A and B are shown apart, each in its own frame.
Chain A
Amino acid sequence: MWTLSPAEWTIVLLSLKVAICCVIVLLLPAMMVAWILARQRFWGQALLDALVHLPMVLPPVVLGYMLLVLLGRKGWIGRWLYEQFHIQLTFHWWGAVIASAVMAFPLMVRAIRQALYQVDPLLEQAAQTLGASPVRVFFTITLPLSYHGLLTGAILAFSRSLGEFGATITFAGNLEGETRTLPLAIYSLTQTPEGDAAALRLVVLSVLVSVLALLGSQWLERRLIRSQR
Chain B
Amino acid sequence: MLQVDIQIRQPYAANAEAFALQARFELRPGHCLGIMGASGSGKTTLLHTISGLLMPASGTIHSGHQCWFDAERGIQWPPWQRHVGMVFQDGRLFPHLSVLQNLAYGMPSGGRISLEEVIAVLEIGHLARRRPGQLSGGEKQRVAIGRALLSQPVVLLMDEPLSGLDEALKQQVLPYIKKVMTTFGLPTLYVSHVREEVAEIADEMLILAQGQLRQPI
CB within 8 Å of B: which residues of A? 122-123, 125-134, 140-141, 144-145, 228-229
Contact = CB atoms under 8 A, between A and B. Distances in A.
Contacts of A228: 96
A228 B96 CA distance: 6
* Best-surrounded residue of A126, A132, A133, A229 (most CB of chain B within 10 A): A126
A185 to B, nearest CB: 43
B84 A129 contact: yes
Given A125-B53, A125-B79, A126-B92, A132 B131 contact: no
A128 B78 contact: yes
B80 A122 contact: no
Contact of B94 (A133, A141, A229): A141
Nearest to B144: A126
Nearest to A122: B92
Contact of B86 (A129, A132, A141, A229): A129
A71 B126 CA distance: 60
A131 B80 contact: yes
Given A130-B106, A130-B151, A145 B53 contact: no
A129 B53 contact: yes
A123 B80 contact: no
* Best-surrounded residue of B81, B88, B92 (most CB of chain A within 10 A): B92
Contacts of A126: 86, 88, 92, 94
B105 interface: yes
Contacts of B88: 122, 126
Interface string B71-111: 00000001111111110101010111000000001101000
Contact of A129 (B79, B90, B95): B79
B108 A229 contact: no
Contacts of B51: 129
A141 B92 CA distance: 12
A98 B95 CA distance: 37
Interface string B120-160: 00000000000100000000000000011001000000000
* Best-surrounded residue of B79, B90, B95 (most CB of chain A within 10 A): B79
A141 B84 CA distance: 19
A170 to B, nearest CB: 43
Given A132-B105, A132-B106, A229-B131, A127 B84 contact: no
* Best-surrounded residue of A125, A127, A129, A131 (most CB of chain B within 10 A): A129
Report the 4 A-B pairs with minimum CB-CB distance, sorted nearest first.
A130-B106, A126-B92, A129-B86, A128-B79
Contact of B80 (A132, A140, A144, A229): A132
B9 to A, nearest CB: 19
A130 B105 contact: yes
A130 B53 contact: no
B92 A131 contact: no
Nearest to B133: A229
Nearest to A141: B94
A21 to B, nearest CB: 29
Interface in B37-96: 51-53, 78-86, 88, 90, 92, 94-96
25 contacts: A122-B88, A122-B90, A122-B92, A123-B92, A123-B94, A125-B53, A126-B92, A126-B94, A127-B94, A127-B106, A128-B52, A128-B78, A128-B79, A128-B80, A129-B80, A129-B85, A129-B86, A130-B86, A130-B105, A131-B83, A131-B108, A132-B80, A132-B105, A145-B95, A229-B131
